[in-house]
Amino acid sequence: MTDADESTRLTPEQRLGPTEPALITAGIVTIHDLETLRACVAYENQHQQRSPVLRRLGKRAAVIREE
């Protein structure tokens, strides 16, 4: 199993739930597909609606689309 496979098993809550910014960043940079990213955006919109987190998710989406 690769790291990418492992990271897709994390739930949006596990990725975005911590209050530590470094952990949130780690959760975002390990997203490798748009399906997971969309789930994280939906989670963030339903729960905390933090603009900086949503901006980071948007930037990550751009990177994934370029790949």
Q: What percent of the chain has pLDDT over 70?
A: 88
Give the amino acid at 57: L
Q: Where does the pLDDT of residue 54 fall: very low under 50, low under 70, confident under 90, or very high at 90 and above?
A: very high
For the chain, give the percent of residues with pLDDT over 90: 87
Domain count, the chain: 1
Q: Does the CA dihedral 35-44-47-10 come out positive or negative?
A: positive
Is the pLDDT confidence value at 4 over 60? no
Supply the range of the domain harboring residue 17.
3-66
pLDDT of 23 higher than 70: yes
Residue type, 42: A
Predicted structure pTM score: 0.86
Statement: residue 1 has pLDDT above 70: no
